[in-house]
Amino acid sequence: MQIDALKALALRHADQARAGYEPVATGIDGLTIIRTRHPTALRPQIYQPVFCLVLQGTKELWSGDRHVAFGAMQSLLVTVDLPVLARIVKASPAEPYIALALGLDVALLAEMADLVPERSDAGGPGFGTGEADGAILDAMGRMAALIERPEAAVVLKPLIRREIHYWLMTSSHAPMLRRIVTAEGNGARIARAIGTIRRDFAARLPVDDLARAAGMSLSAFHAHFRSMTATTPLQYQKSLRLIEARRLLTAGGHSVAQAAFAVGYESPTQFSRDFSRRFGMAPSGAARAETGTPGAGGAEAA
């Protein structure tokens, strides 16, 4: 499918769904469309493992002290659950931001890894950007075309999904992907620790215990964790707690103290300090904030 036809298909489906910024379901399991006609303020979000292909516009995100930006015909790959601040920086009514996002299947990636030359687990980030090559564009286009051919999707979707995962494993993203599918590699161990934190972010999880469970020394665990997420285990857990607390406050029904206790804080005062430092506003102002910059201004609700 030509790129203009792919953009038109994605826009048509998003417009039919009357979508704003939130991802639009396509009826194809794991495939969503993101379309917005205006730049957005910073939004706290939690990315799950995903391949995101930008068709038009530009987006940027921050995780810890690392910043990436990606635009048309570029891709973002995230291999672990990752709390970020993100915003659309280039979008307009005439040329909206348009992207396709496909959730990653780690089991399928592991299978594809056996079909391509082995790479060492040398450490590195759990997210990154790259140029979208012709093979990926073609396969993603055929996957998106199934939106309007649901009778064909039953047969072709598993085949195209498998093909996309193969092309990803042979792309510039391959080193990141192999790190999470090599069972005893450092990347896979950190991914499992991240899964533990993600599931129990409101619980007290001593970093020493996480390091032991990962089979690493404390110093090695910290180094590999920061390498993949651009932050520390404690800061990662804090980000998860604050994003969830912000969601609770924005949705209504929780006082500041209730939100603090719900996400694992023992002190509402400390919670308020951390919240203000993270989002640039007091918790009581979360539902009203509309604009911001990293570490200084507000952010829209995730």
φ and ψ at residue 263, rounded to 5 degrees: -105, 10
131 has a pLDDT exceeding 80: yes
pTM, full prediction = 0.85
Domain stop point among 180, 205, 220: 180
Choose among 168, 170, 144: nearest CA to 156.
Answer: 144
Q: Say how many domains are in the chain.
A: 3
Pair (52, 167) in one structural domain: yes
**Residue type at 43 in one-letter notation:** R
Q: Name residues whose C-beta falls within 8 Å of residue 92's C-beta, 6 or more positions apart in sequence.
A: 37, 38
Going by the DSSP 8-state scheme, the letter that residue 64 receives in this structure is T
One domain for residues 212 and 259 = no
Burial 237-263 (b: 16+ CB within 10 A, else e): bbbbbbbbbbbbbbeeebebeebbbeb
Domain assignment of residue 294, yes or no = no
In sequence order, the 6+-apart residues with CB closer than 8 A to the CB of 240 are 46, 83, 197, 198, 201
pLDDT in tens, 171-223: 888 888 988 887 678 888 999 999 999 998 999 999 999 999 999 999 999 99
Do 50 and 128 have their domain in common? yes
What is Dmax (Cα atoms) for the chain? Answer: 56
Domain residues for the domain of 258 are 242-288
Q: Is 136 within a domain?
A: yes
What's the average model confidence in pLDDT over 11-33? Answer: 85
Task: Check whether residue 126 and residue 196 sit in a common domain.
Answer: no
Model confidence at 114, in pLDDT bands (50, 70, 90)?
confident
Q: Residue 248 sits in a domain of what CATH number?
A: 1.10.10.60
Residues 81 and 96 in one domain: yes
State the pLDDT at residue 122.
Answer: 52
296 part of a folded domain: no
Residue with tokens 């635009």: 71
Domain presence at residue 293: no
pLDDT given at position 296: 35
Which residue, chain included where needed, has tokens 């009778």?
A: 151
Q: What is the tens place of the pLDDT at every residue in 218-254?
A: 999 999 999 999 999 999 999 999 999 999 998 888 8
Here the CATH number for the domain that contains residue 219 is 1.10.10
Residues 199 and 284 in one domain: no
Interior angle at CA 216, CA 210 and CA 219, nearest 5: 90
Q: Is residue 157 one of the residues assigned to a domain?
A: yes
CATH number at residue 13: 2.60.120.10
143 and 253 housed in the same domain: no
113 located within any domain: yes
Please tell me the predicted confidence (pLDDT) of residue 293.
38
At residue 115, the pLDDT reads 85
Instruction: Classify residue 295: in a domain, yes or no.
Output: no
Position of tokens 């995100």?
61
* Predicted local distance difference test score (pLDDT) of residue 299: 31
* 110 shares a domain with 145: yes
